[in-house]
């Protein structure tokens, strides 16, 4: 049975989205971590990249810890702890007087950096019904995209003054976000203070359906990060300005924000989840194939709008489906397990992209990414059957049968 759609989202969801947007507004400092290390401490580029890689590696256990803490001590406590930890680490990097201290705080930042994500995603799942989760997660994605545009402007202004102030500004937004969460969001339930028997039995890594979602999500994350990393290099090899990638990514963010009303159109909201995934990956395929043949900024812009519409269909649906798979006591850990896809892709994407670009060229790079998207589009019905067979609960069988409304 389909539940009514188009209802107003709860206040908790809007507060989480607003707080996350504030935090994202300041989350531009990491792009300058290697620059700070090389300019302030005279380290080599290789050393700076090693420290950045250590940060990235630390985010994987950070996300897993966030899921466990979310289910054990409560959503709000975990969010506040993670944000305050990020603020401490950011200030530590800014105030560091040696390379060793800066590296230590960079690793600390990685260990607390992802604590926020699983409890915030779980809290959204707790606050809305299954039919509104796609819309709620899509709005979160849109808010992050919009805040990311403002973050670039702040980075451009503060970075000209002193790179250390970027980390101070980031720490400030973390503390503001933590305060907003602590004051405005509902308190954790008393039952969340202890690890119940039901929670102790949650084992996301043994859930076949979730592992299938993790595999496809990792491939999606790998493709998505190729766009973020390789687009500037691709523009340069096509005779365009690499800095124009900023314009293209801004256009992507605007498309995602402006496209939110589309998710409430009957034609889109009535799509079964499998069909929504298939359509999203098909649009990604078209957009990235456009990159393969583009030689003008206008063509790149058109391709960017197309794949961004695909992203609009995919992001909310993926998290809504994972939330539907999770047992009530394990939403945080399920979200954390699925979220490791981004950590894995973050390690693999720079290596795979640079090798493809260096040895095969721009056209082959984007044709390979488009082919991977096409494969993801083709296997969605099979994924739907696996997910539907996992459990007889209505929230999970919706993948292959009833639509999950936006």
Reduced 3-state DSSP string for 164-192: HHHHHHHHHHHHHHHHHHHHHCCCCCHHH
Which residue range forms the structural domain that includes residue 280? Answer: 202-406
Measured torsion, CA atoms of residues 354, 357, 363, 369, in degrees rounded to the nearest 10: -20
pLDDT-based confidence at residue 218 (cuts at 50, 70, 90): very high
Task: Check pLDDT > 70 for residue 155.
Answer: no
By residue count, the chain amounts to 406
- Indicate if 286 and 399 belong to the same structural domain: yes
CA 305, distance to chain mean position in Å, is 19
- Indicate if 210 and 177 belong to the same structural domain: no
Domain boundary among 129, 154, 185: 185
pLDDT at 190: 63
- 123 versus 371: the higher-pLDDT residue is 371
Residue 260, domain member (yes or no): yes
pLDDT-based confidence at residue 293 (cuts at 50, 70, 90): very high
- Element of type H or E holding 324: helix 297-325
- 103 versus 28: the higher-pLDDT residue is 103
Residue 194, domain member (yes or no): no
Domain boundary among 152, 185, 218: 185
- 403 versus 22: the higher-pLDDT residue is 22
Residue 343, domain member (yes or no): yes
pLDDT at 152: 61
- Indicate if 127 and 232 belong to the same structural domain: no
- Indicate if 178 and 238 belong to the same structural domain: no
Residue 193, domain member (yes or no): no
- Indicate if 287 and 143 belong to the same structural domain: no
Residue 180, domain member (yes or no): yes
- Indicate if 180 and 41 belong to the same structural domain: yes
- Indicate if 249 and 157 belong to the same structural domain: no
Task: Check pLDDT > 80 for residue 251.
Answer: yes
pLDDT at 287: 95
Which of these ranges, 25-39, 306-320, 329-343, has the smallest mean pLDDT?
25-39
- Indicate if 317 and 229 belong to the same structural domain: yes
Query: Which CATH number covers residue 138?
Result: 1.20.1250.20
In whole angstroms, give the CA distance from residue 280 to residue 259. Answer: 13
Range list of H helices, 96-196 = 99-113, 117-127, 133-159, 164-184
CA angle at residue 150 from 146 to 154, to 5 degrees?
160
- 20 versus 159: the higher-pLDDT residue is 20
- Indicate if 179 and 206 belong to the same structural domain: no
CA distances from 296 to 61, 293, 300, 301, 302 (A): 42, 9, 6, 9, 10
Find, among 40, 34, 75, the residue nearest to 56 by Cα: 34
Find, among 403, 157, 359, the residue nearest to 270 by Cα: 403
Summarised one tens digit per residue, pLDDT across range 57-76 is 888 899 889 888 888 888 88
- Indicate if 273 and 333 belong to the same structural domain: yes
Query: How many other CB atoms are found less than 10 A from the CB of residue 296?
Result: 11
In whole angstroms, give the CA distance from residue 117 to residue 102. Answer: 24
Residue 153, domain member (yes or no): yes
Domain boundary among 185, 210, 244: 185
- Indicate if 161 and 221 belong to the same structural domain: no
The total of structural domains in the chain comes to: 2
Task: Check pLDDT > 70 for residue 301.
Answer: yes
- Indicate if 164 and 208 belong to the same structural domain: no
In whole angstroms, give the CA distance from residue 311 to residue 252. Answer: 9
Residue 3, domain member (yes or no): no
pLDDT at 380: 85
pLDDT-based confidence at residue 398 (cuts at 50, 70, 90): very low
Summarised one tens digit per residue, pLDDT across range 358-388 is 788 889 999 999 999 999 999 888 887 787 7
- Element of type H or E holding 92: helix 75-95
**Alpha-carbon Rg for the chain in angstroms:** 21
Task: Check pLDDT > 80 for residue 46.
Answer: no
């Amino acid at each position: 049975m389909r539940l009514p759609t188009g209802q107003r989202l709860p206040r908790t969801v809007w507060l989480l989205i607003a707080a996350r947007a504030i935090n994202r507004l300041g989350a531009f400092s990491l792009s300058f971590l290697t620059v700070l290390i090389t300019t302030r401490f005279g380290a080599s580029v290789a050393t700076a990249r090693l420290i950045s890689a250590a940060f990235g590696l630390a985010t994987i256990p950070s996300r897993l810890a966030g899921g466990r803490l979310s289910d054990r001590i409560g959503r709000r406590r975990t969010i506040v702890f993670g944000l305050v930890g990020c603020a401490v680490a950011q200030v530590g990097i800014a105030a560091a007087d040696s390379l060793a201290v800066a590296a230590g705080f960079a690793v600390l930042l990685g260990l607390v950096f992802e604590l926020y994500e699983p409890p915030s995603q779980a809290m959204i799942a707790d606050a809305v019904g299954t039919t509104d989760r796609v819309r709620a997660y899509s709005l979160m994605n849109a808010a992050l995209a919009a805040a990311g545009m403002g973050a670039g402007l702040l980075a451009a202004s503060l970075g000209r003054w002193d790179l250390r102030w970027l980390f101070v500004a980031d720490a400030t937004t973390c503390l503001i976000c933590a305060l907003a969460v602590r004051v405005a969001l509902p308190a954790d339930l008393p039952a969340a203070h202890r690890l119940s028997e039901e929670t102790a039995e949650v084992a996301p890594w043994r859930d076949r359906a979730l592992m299938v979602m993790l595999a496809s999500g990792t491939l999606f994350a790998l493709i998505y990060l190729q766009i973020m990393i390789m687009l500037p290099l691709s523009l340069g090899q096509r005779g365009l300005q690499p800095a124009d990638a900023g314009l293209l990514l801004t256009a992507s963010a605007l498309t995602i924000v402006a496209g939110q009303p589309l998710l409430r159109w009957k034609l889109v909201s009535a799509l079964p989840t499998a069909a929504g995934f298939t359509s999203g990956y098909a649009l990604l395929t078209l957009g990235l194939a456009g990159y393969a043949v583009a030689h003008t900024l206008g063509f790149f812009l058109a391709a960017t709008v197309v794949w961004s519409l695909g992203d609009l269909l995919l992001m909310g649906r993926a998290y809504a489906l994972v939330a539907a798979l999770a047992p009530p006591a394990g939403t945080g850990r399920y979200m954390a397990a699925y979220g490791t896809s981004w950590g894995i892709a973050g390690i693999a994407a720079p290596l795979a992209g640079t090798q493809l670009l260096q040895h095969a060229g721009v056209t082959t790079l984007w044709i390979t990414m488009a082919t991977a998207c096409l494969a993801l589009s083709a296997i969605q019905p099979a994924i739907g059957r696996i997910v539907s067979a996992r459990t007889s609960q209505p929230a999970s069988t919706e993948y292959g049968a009833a639509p999950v409304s936006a």
